[in-house]
Structure 1
Amino acid sequence: MTEGELNVFREGRIVAWADLHYTLVIDFLDAMNGATRRLTLPSGGSIDVAIPAGVREGQVIRLRGKGAPSRGEGPAGDALIELNIRLHRFFVLEGDDIRLELPVTLKEAVLGGRIKVPTPAGAVMMNVPRGSNTGTVLRLRRKGAPRKSGGHGDELVVLKVILPASPDHGLEELVSNWSPSTNDDLRREMLS
């Protein structure tokens, strides 16, 4: 805690004493969806902090009158709470959009279909197009971070095709008997 000494004098008396500065670490989903978190003060007390949806790293919340008491008749200072947001395991904030790298099976990538996808507000269903590849980006409109101007950004879902962890003899047999209709040299540009 640091104490900023802001003394305001009016007619020879101190009107306000000091704003107190705190740091509060919150989870990514609390920053996106809003929450109430309790901040324990160095004095042993605590205050509840209402975190609005869509706050960003370093944003400061001002709680009027929750700072240091004034000397005399003036009002107490304010509590200035700087927010630090923990990184999420899967979601990455990019402006108002959220990026998610989503593992999909080879079958889902080749044949397409509907799959369940996590968003900060809960899971939704999404269509994976046939023939999707690793790196394909699909957009879930208005499933990103809340915007200051209203509405939400998008969630950008980056597909990552994952083969089975253990050998799949059926898949191995299928691929060994498969004759592609084209003979694309995928590495030609890299080797020339």
Structure 2
Amino acid sequence: GDDVRYKLDVDFLDAAKGATKSVTMADGKSLNLKIPAGIETGKTLRLKGQGHPGAGGGPSGDALVEVRVKDHPTFTREGDDIRVELPITLKEAVEGAKVATPTIDGAVNITVPKNSNTGSVLRLRGKGVERQGKRGDQFVRLKVVLPDNDPELARFVEGWTPKGDYNPRKGMAG
């Protein structure tokens, strides 16, 4: 029989960690479809014998399910690695802190080093996508977020003068 083609939208976390989903075929038949951990958009899952019936008693075709992984509001994926941007306070950036960060397996505490800047990246080994027995990493990009309209912070900065030759734009062309 002929093969039948389907497209299936899969949640980001289900694609990263693996899952079993119940899918309804065109003929109304419901099947459990195993989504393997680490699957990516464009990959095709084959369900043997779930296509059109074969002519003259021949074997049925296959159902070919093309996977489309949905975007996630927090995580992005690069190969087997996960990337996330983590907002931190000015105080956490300057003094360092232990803060919770999301991972695909749930929140974990990380240590923000003293004097961290926006754009600093921390690596969490083994917190990425698992595929073929190996697990990628998670990269946490820090983003210092100032509070809205904080008069005390404004007064502090107004009276603060950096020591030495501090110039964050030093060395820029132009």
Distance (Å, rounded) in 2 between the aligned partners of 1:129 and 1:160: 13
Counterpart check, 1:125 vs 2:113: no
Alignment partner of 2:86: what SS?
A: strand
Residue of structure 2 equivalent to 1:94: 78
2:162 corresponds in structure 1 to 180
For 1:83 and 1:115, the matched residues in 2 are separated by 35
1:155 aligned partner: 138
Partners of 2:63 and 2:99 in 1: CA distance: 45
Aligned to 1:40: 24
Quote the residue 1:70 is aligned against.
Answer: 54
- The C-alpha deviation readout for 1:86-137, integer Å capped at 9, x for no partner, is 1111211111111111111111111111110001111111110000000000
Alignment match, 2:152: 170
In structure 1, what is the Cα distance between the partners aligned to 2:26 and 2:59? 21
CA distance in 2, matches of 1:111, 1:190: 28
Normalising by structure 2, we get a TM-score of: 0.92
Aligned residues: 174
CA distance in 1, matches of 2:153, 2:167: 22
Tell me, which stretches of 5 or more residues in structure 2 are unaligned? none
Question: Which structure's relative contact order is higher, taking Cα pairs within 8 Å and 6+ residues apart?
Answer: 2
Determine the C-alpha separation between the residues in 2 that align with 1:94 and 1:191: 31
- Deviation string 1:25-75 (CA, Å, 9 cap, x unpaired) is 111111011112222323333322111111111111111121111123332
Tell me whether 1:116 sits opposite 2:100 in the alignment. Answer: yes
Q: What is the DSSP-based 3-state SS (H/G/I as helix, E as strand, rest coil) of the residue aligned with 2:28? A: coil
Residue 130 of structure 2 is matched in structure 1 by 146
Secondary structure of the structure 1 residue equivalent to 2:3: strand
Aligned counterparts of 2:63 and 2:40: Cα–Cα separation in 1? 18
Q: Which runs of 5+ in 1 are unaligned?
A: 1-16
Percent identity over the alignment?
49
Secondary structure (helix, strand or coil) at the match of 1:190 reads coil
